[in-house]
A and B are shown apart, each in its own frame.
Chain A
């Protein structure tokens, strides 16, 4: 543990004008690129790294952290305003954010996303600053069997998103997992379902599938519904009541448990290398819906849905730094980029980092907290601008969004092949929606599929065909039991809801 004067000196460095300026620039840039679908903070960080070479290490790394944190907030803006998530981890934000925007409350939705994002991020930063070392050791003890337990728990939780039909939910999961199997199989590294396209060796591009299914299919649907004189994409009343433009303290406080749950889920999953913020966002959304007294209001503009998703995906960022700073293991692509920035500046992350570079690390912690505050400030100004932009006519907004998706996906997936994949999955999502198959469940299964198959393969190898060996993995057993209990509870809840629907006089014609 570094001495107190080193901690204070480090935190003081974070308040140097140069550091503050670069963190602010990073946050502003991150929010801007995060709001452009497909580009996102990871690409912005990759582009920005060479520019940090000549900077002071704290200013350079603080700038990159600012880009990452700003991007997490920025990704929610198009998700809420256009139903086009800027980043895959903001996909679930659109479920409730967009309906709320359509009700003429885009500022309320984006502000809730901003507040919960900053709260979740600050929570995980505090966890990072206070208990990173023991958490990292715990995360390191999570082997393949335990990760399989986490995956099974995740699948049990997403069962809550399946809707009324278990059969259609199972079809969506099966299709999502099937799409996740495109590429090389994890155990033998042989090609699978690539149909002669070598671009598919690494699997289907995540950005193509997510943006195609969530954004392009929705844009197609909205464009196909246009008729007569073009309307604004979102109509804002001239004299909007304050309650519709902002989030009151009571509304924020009402979401405290949802935000806390999301922040905890994001922090735990963020500390485990390789799971990522998208899984955390969907898991948090599903658990918020499962815990809600009004689950039917989710997907129709419930503030809890936005809060759950944004708190979870943003809290992954701080938690990703736990294995990075303490063990030198990057937990995500953005953490891997930050590790490369450390190395460019001659800093070797790992167990001795706090001892050798204590001042820099505590300076970074200070910069992270400052970045959260600046996120709040820049977000407040930026959201008003974006909310105005979205009042332009539908044809202009939708055509612009489609062009941005083409460019963004092409950049994210390394060419127009990814755009082709995006269009295929957009059409698939369009047909799936018409048939009552859940696109959301498909995407979650697609995100979690590769990790599930790898951990299942490793678990089977470790157990060597003997299920009794599972007793040697008590944490995994607890997680698997929790998954079973969750699945049973959600199934019972669904049955109760189904019975209630059938007895209800206002039941829609099914």
Chain B
């Protein structure tokens, strides 16, 4: 129940910021036409505020944030973000094995055969399929 109330408060705040700050900042002012660039986003901002109010007033109670392993999920997400940053600098060929190793190690895989298959075999297969067979540039 409390999670829903906080969610409701967040959407009230988000709706207000969207209406008053983001839409004027990120959508042009146009004085003609039937459906102006700001019309629908502002309608949606109002909908979000109303829904937020409704959630605060009458929470649904089906939110289950406690069911997730947030710490481990953040660790895996960090590997993915790190992999993306590394890929922009070093490219797929150098990054993919490191990223695969980090992911598999974090997921408790310690068997040499599977590690070799995941760290060397799969990146090599992707490289062969995309760069050689399909002749498309890898990131």
Q: Which A residues have a C-beta under 8 Å from some C-beta of B?
A: 33, 36, 39, 43-44, 47, 163-165, 167-168, 170-171, 174-175, 177-178, 181, 185-188, 190-195, 216, 220-221, 223-230, 392-396, 398-400, 402-404, 406-407, 410-411, 415-416, 419-420, 423, 426-427, 430, 433-436, 453, 456-457, 460-461, 465, 510
- Judge whether B69 and A457 touch: CB under 8 Å: no
User: A170–B47 contact, CB under 8 A?
Assistant: yes
Q: Hey, what's the 0/1 contact readout for B71-85 against A, CB within 8 Å counting as 1?
A: 011011100110110
Out of A175, A195, A395, name the residue touching B103 (CB < 8 Å): A395
Q: Are B60 and A165 in contact (CB under 8 A)?
A: yes
A426 to B74, CA, bound (A): 12
With contacts A393-B114, A398-B103, A423-B84 known, what are 8 further pairs, Cβ within 8 A?
A: A36-B129, A216-B80, A220-B77, A224-B70, A225-B69, A230-B111, A416-B139, A426-B77
Tell me, in angstroms, the Cα distance from A168 to B4 when the chains sit together: 10
Q: Are A164 and B103 in contact (CB under 8 A)?
A: no
Distance in angstroms from B128 CB to nearest chain A CB is 12
**Which residue of A163, A191, A228, A461 is within 8 Å of B34 (Cβ)?**
A461
Instruction: Please determine whether B139 and A399 come into contact, CB atoms closer than 8 angstroms.
Output: no
A457 to B63, CA, bound (A): 36
Q: In whole angstroms, how far apart are the Cα atoms of A177 and B58 in the complex?
A: 24
Within 8 Å by CB of B136, from A47, A188, A435, lies A47
Is there a chain A Cβ closer than 8 Å to B54's Cβ? yes
Which residue in A396, A423, A456 is a CB contact (below 8 Å) of B114? Answer: A396
A-B contact pairs, 16 of them (CB 8 A): A39-B130, A43-B134, A165-B62, A170-B51, A171-B52, A174-B48, A190-B30, A194-B26, A226-B107, A396-B109, A399-B100, A403-B99, A403-B126, A406-B92, A456-B35, A460-B35
Assuming the contacts A435-B3, A457-B35, asked whether A185 and B27 have C-beta atoms less than 8 A apart, the reply is: yes
- CB atoms of B48 and A171 under 8 A apart: yes
With A164-B62, A396-B109, A403-B122 in contact, do A174 and B44 touch (Cβ < 8 Å)?
A: yes
- Give the residues in chain A near B70, CB-CB below 8 Å: 224
Task: Note all chain B residues with C-beta closer than 8 A to A415.
Answer: 139
Which residues of B lie under 8 Å from residue A433 when comparing CB positions? 68
In the assembled complex, which residues on chain B have CB atoms less than 8 Å from the CB atom of A44?
134
Does residue B112 face the partner (Cβ distance < 8 Å to A)?
no
Chain A facing B: main interface SS: helix
**Is the beta-carbon distance between A192 and B28 smaller than 8 angstroms?**
yes
The residue among B33, B37, B52, B123 with the most chain A CB atoms within 10 A of its own CB is: B37
Using a CB-CB cutoff of 8 Å, which residues 1-23 of chain B contact chain A? 3-4, 7, 11, 18, 22
> Given the interface contacts A188-B28, A226-B107, does A434 sit within 8 Å of B40 by beta carbon?
no
Which of A167, A396, A407, A419 touches B104 (beta carbons < 8 Å)? A396
For the complex formed, measure the closest distance between the CB of A229 and the CB atoms of chain B, giving whole angstroms: 7
Question: Does residue B132 face the partner (Cβ distance < 8 Å to A)?
Answer: no
Q: Which of A43, A394, A396 has the most CB atoms of chain B within a 10 A radius of its CB?
A: A396
* Residues in A whose Cβ lies below 8 Å from that of B48: 171, 174-175
- Is A221 a contact of B68 with CB atoms below 8 Å? yes
- Cα(A410)–Cα(B134), bound, Å: 14
Query: A435 near B34 (CB under 8 angstroms)?
Result: no
A171 and B11: CB pair below 8 A? yes
User: Which residue among A47, A399, A403, A456 has the maximum number of chain B CB atoms within 10 Å of its CB?
Assistant: A399
Whether A174 pairs with B35 at a CB distance below 8 angstroms is no
User: CA–CA, A181 to B51, complex, Å?
Assistant: 20
Q: How far is the CA of A195 from the CA of B27 in the complex (A)?
A: 10
The 8 Å CB contact of B51, one of A171, A185, A419, is: A171
Question: Taking A187-B34, A188-B30 as contacts, is the C-beta distance between A435 and B103 under 8 angstroms?
Answer: no
A-B pairs, top 8 by smallest CB distance, nearest first, are: A460-B34, A395-B107, A395-B109, A190-B28, A224-B73, A224-B72, A457-B35, A185-B37
User: How far apart are the CA atoms of A308 and B81 in the complex, in Å?
Assistant: 36
The complex places the Cα of A377 from the Cα of B107 at a distance, in Å, of 37
Smallest CB gap from B52: residue in A: A171
B100 / chain A contacts, CB cutoff of 8 Å: 399-400, 403
A177-B44, A396-B118 as given contacts; A188 in contact with B139, CB under 8 Å: no
A427 to B100, CA, bound (A): 20
Q: Give, as a whole number of angstroms, the nearest-CB distance from A388 to chain B.
A: 14
B108 and A229: CB pair below 8 A?
yes
Residues of B within 8 A of A465 (CB): 34
A430's nearest neighbour on chain B, judged by CB, is: B73
Q: Do residues B106 and A223 form an inter-chain contact, with CB atoms below 8 A?
A: yes
> Would B126 and A407 count as touching, CB distance under 8 A?
yes
Q: Is the CB of A395 within 8 A of B118?
A: yes
Whether the pair A223, B87 counts as a contact (CB closer than 8 A) is: no
